[in-house]
């Protein structure tokens, strides 16, 4: 590698490090600069980002189309709520159990992926997403039925132990909403780091190989069936963690919160941010959250019913101008800048020789 190329690589590394440092500072300072209701909205964005990260592992990297991750998101939320309310589990243990349960459910749902793929697999997962709210309503004693289930835990109140909605008490000099935000932020970062390590591992290379050419991957020795099933399970576990964050943030779960629309929102987050990229789902979830929680309420009252149409138009324009999403735009700009630098440096090198 030449000295100039080495300098460019070092400079790019420093730039990336500076960007990530700025992002970390913003994320750490964010809950101290906004009121409680806005911080809770940030927590809901993190729940969506984690679930979208799981969908991205399955669809973006492995090429398996799923329209049912809203149901897995709901399984994680309901598992967390039931274990805390009915069994008295601590929050962290319930969230971990939700990830395990969703892993098992994902493996079961992923079994048809061994025989079908493409639109047929999408239809199977669509059926799961459609049936999930109906199944939840069939067990009112356990799930609360159509009325939903408040997440409570026994607490001492005026000398009597009563079930009270879960709350995050102030700790370490932080308000309850700030403490909750930092806990969820830590869980979100861990999930994205796990997804990054998975993608850059040997199994991650197998995921991409299966997505690009399943037959060639199988001929090359990749255990296609095992990788597909494990990918479905891992993707579902991440969706379950997102559902657990959602449940703990709202202290209540309701079947109307996990309809087919949620699965579409997850797809929107993945496509908007950039599929087959680690940070793409996070960017897409933030953009979607900003639109629904910040931009949409600020619109005039006569335009608010048309917000789904506005969102659809914006998505169409984005897909026409940048099929790779926001991350695709950034990569394209970086590639053009690199090509410009290489062209200018080559012209500077060949210029004196040509003149001579």
Domain positions in the chain are: 26-305
For the entire predicted model, the pTM comes to: 0.90
Cα–Cα distance, 313 to 16 (Å, whole number): 32
Residue percentage of the chain with pLDDT more than 70: 92
Cα–Cα distance, 209 to 61 (Å, whole number): 9
Angle at the Cα of 172 (from 168 to 175), degrees rounded to 5? 45
What's residue 134's pLDDT? 92
Cα–Cα distance, 45 to 286 (Å, whole number): 6
Taking only the tens place, the pLDDT of each residue in 266-325 is 998 999 998 888 999 999 999 999 988 988 888 888 877 888 888 888 888 888 888 888
Taking only the tens place, the pLDDT of each residue in 88-120 is 899 999 999 999 999 999 999 888 877 877 788
Which segment of 69-73, 78-82, 139-143 scores lowest on mean pLDDT? 139-143
Looking at every residue in the chain, the average pLDDT score rounds to 86
CATH 1.10.3470 given to domain 26-305:
yes
Taking only the tens place, the pLDDT of each residue in 208-263 is 999 988 889 889 888 988 999 999 999 999 999 999 999 999 999 999 899 898 99
Mean pLDDT of 69-76: 94
């Amino acid at each position: 590698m030449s000295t100039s190329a080495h300098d460019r690589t070092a400079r790019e590394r420093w730039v990336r490090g500076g960007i990530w440092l700025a992002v970390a500072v913003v994320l750490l300072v964010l809950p101290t600069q906004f009121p409680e209701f806005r911080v809770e909205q940030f927590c809901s964005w993190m729940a969506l980002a984690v679930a979208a990260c799981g969908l991205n592992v399955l669809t973006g990297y492995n090429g398996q189309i799923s329209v049912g991750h809203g149901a897995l998101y709901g399984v994680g939320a309901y598992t967390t709520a039931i274990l805390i309310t009915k069994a008295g589990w601590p929050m962290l243990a319930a969230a971990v159990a939700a990830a395990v349960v969703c892993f098992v459910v994902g493996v079961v749902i992923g079994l048809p992926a061994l025989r079908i793929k493409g639109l047929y697999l999408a239809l199977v997962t669509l059926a799961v997403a459609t049936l999930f709210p109906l199944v939840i309503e069939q067990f009112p004693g356990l799930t609360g039925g159509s009325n939903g289930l408040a997440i409570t835990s026994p607490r001492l109140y005026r000398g009597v132990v009563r079930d009270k909605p879960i709350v995050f008490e102030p700790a370490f000099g932080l308000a309850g909403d700030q403490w909750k935000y930092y806990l969820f932020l830590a869980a979100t970062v861990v999930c994205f780091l796990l997804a990054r390590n998975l993608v850059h591992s040997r199994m991650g290379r197998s995921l991409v190989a299966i997505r690009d050419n399943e037959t060639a991957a199988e001929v090359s020795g990749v255990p296609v069936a095992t990788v597909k099933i494990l990918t479905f399970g891992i993707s579902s576990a991440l969706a379950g963690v997102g559902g657990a964050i959602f449940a703990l943030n709202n202290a209540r779960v309701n079947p109307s919160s996990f309809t087919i629309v949620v699965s579409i929102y997850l797809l929107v987050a993945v496509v908007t941010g950039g599929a087959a990229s680690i940070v793409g789902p996070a960017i897409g979830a933030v953009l979607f959250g900003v639109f629904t929680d910040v931009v949409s309420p600020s619109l005039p009252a006569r335009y608010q019913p048309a917000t789904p149409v506005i969102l659809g138009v914006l998505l169409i324009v984005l897909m026409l101008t940048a099929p790779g999403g926001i991350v695709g735009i950034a990569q394209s700009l970086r590639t053009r800048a690199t090509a410009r630098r290489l062209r200018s440096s080559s012209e500077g090198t060949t210029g004196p020789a040509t003149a001579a």
